[in-house]
Amino acid sequence: MEGLEIHSHTRSYSAEHKLQAIQDYQSGEYSQYEIIDKYKIASRTQLSDWVKKYNGHSSLKAYKGLQSFRLR
């Protein structure tokens, strides 16, 4: 269909990328929509999952063997 993009691959995000998005979210300077657009996040649900992990002191693991952050 014209005007629609089909993405058939899974996006991957580094731990640093996730942390930057979470910090922007928690700063209150950006809406969820602005953050998912700025960081090219798949959905608000994805961002919400990262924030829950961060607030629950879980690690934000990166895909494809990239570095992860352990949060206190």
Taking only the tens place, the pLDDT of each residue in 28-54 is: 999 999 999 999 999 999 999 999 999
CB 43, CB 35: distance < 8 Å: no
- How much is the pTM? 0.69
Per residue in 11-32, pLDDT (tens digit) is: 789 999 999 999 999 999 999 9
* Whether the predicted pLDDT of 71 surpasses 70: no
> So what's the pLDDT on residue 63?
53
pLDDT at 2 over 80: no
Give residue 37's pLDDT.
Answer: 96
Q: Could you please report the per-residue DSSP string of 27-61?
A: HTSS-HHHHHHHTT-S-HHHHHHHHHHHHTT--BP
